[in-house]
Amino acid sequence: MFAEAPREWMEKVYLSESFEREESHRKLTEGISYEVLSDSVYQSISDTQTPQGILALLRQPEYRLEDLLTPDCRLLILEDIQDPGNLGTMLRSAEAAGVDGVILSKNTADIFNPKVIRSTMGSIFRVKFVSVDDFTGTLDILKRYGVRLFAADLAGSALYHEADYRGKTGFLIGNEGNGLSPETLKRADTRIRIPMEGQVESLNAAIAATLLMYEAVRQRVL
């Protein structure tokens, strides 16, 4: 994560004594000023049980909704996602699938939560994201811009691979337990479902989001 972090975002860097002594680590911090802490002090400020020995304080990036609205945008739109691991995985998948940005409702997990950041595996440095207070109002803005909204819904009328994602597309993914709110579902152009067999009630939210994003990739590549 440190190696991938944009240098212009860095405010402070801290190393543990044992980390700093390793010759192999010198290149990682070449040209960067840092402060060395005793291992015990470093351990006390780290949020992990087995810290790697390097911490960076980064400036939080800020994006506007307009930054996400490219002429042929693909968006991942998240309503009240609670699990930090799910959120981080979605950002990682969004980067891999070439999504233009992620929109989060105000009740979604904090994108700067350490668990979210670690699970993105560096994608948080490259994927644009916007947290919005007025979620349904933002959906209305997207619709006026020409973005077609596809809601992942267990009762969806269309199978996910039957819809056309080749234009401006937004995938709506809801809360892990409750799904999308009725207000959000009303704004969806199409409710889509992923077929399942056996006794599975639903897919993990991050897995469902990944399937939808990659179906959009498949349609645009073929």
The SS3 of residue 2 is coil
Return the sign of the alpha-carbon dihedral for residues 67, 72, 76, 77: positive
Banded pLDDT at 15 (limits 50, 70, 90): very high
Domain boundaries, the chain: 7-58, 65-221
Distance CA 144, CA 134 (A): 16
Share of the chain above pLDDT 90, in %: 87
Residue 175 DSSP one-character state: B
38 sits in the region (left: phi over 0; alpha: psi -120 to 50; else beta) called beta
Residue bearing tokens 């919005």:
132
Strand partners, 192: 152, 158
The residue type of 55 is: L
8 A C-beta contact, residue 203 and residue 220: no
Mean pLDDT value across residues 10-35: 92
pLDDT score at 26: 83
What local confidence, expressed as pLDDT, does residue 18 receive? Answer: 94
8 Å CB contact between 26 and 15: no
Q: What pLDDT shows up at residue 94?
A: 98
C-beta of residue 70 within 8 angstroms of C-beta of residue 100: yes
Segment 133-192, tens digit of pLDDT: 999 999 999 999 999 999 999 989 899 999 999 999 999 999 999 999 999 999 999 999
- What ranges in 15-173 are assigned the alpha helix state H? 17-21, 39-45, 65-68, 84-96, 114-120, 135-145
Q: What is the pLDDT of residue 89?
A: 97
The DSSP call for residue 22 is -
Positive or negative torsion for Cα 71, 117, 138, 193: positive
Model confidence pLDDT, tens digit, residues 69-90: 999 999 999 999 999 999 999 9
Select the CATH number that applies to the domain covering 65-221 from these four: 1.20.210.10, 2.40.10.410, 3.40.1280.10, 3.40.50.150. Answer: 3.40.1280.10
Q: What is the mean pLDDT of residues 119-139?
A: 97
Interatomic CA distance for residues 210 and 91, integer angstroms? 10
Distance from C-alpha of 54 to C-alpha of 81, rounded to nearest angstrom: 30
In sequence order, what E strands does 50-168 have?
54-58, 74-78, 101-105, 129-132, 148-152, 158-159
Q: What is the pLDDT of residue 68?
A: 97
Question: Which pLDDT band, with edges at 50, 70 and 90, does 202 fall under?
Answer: confident
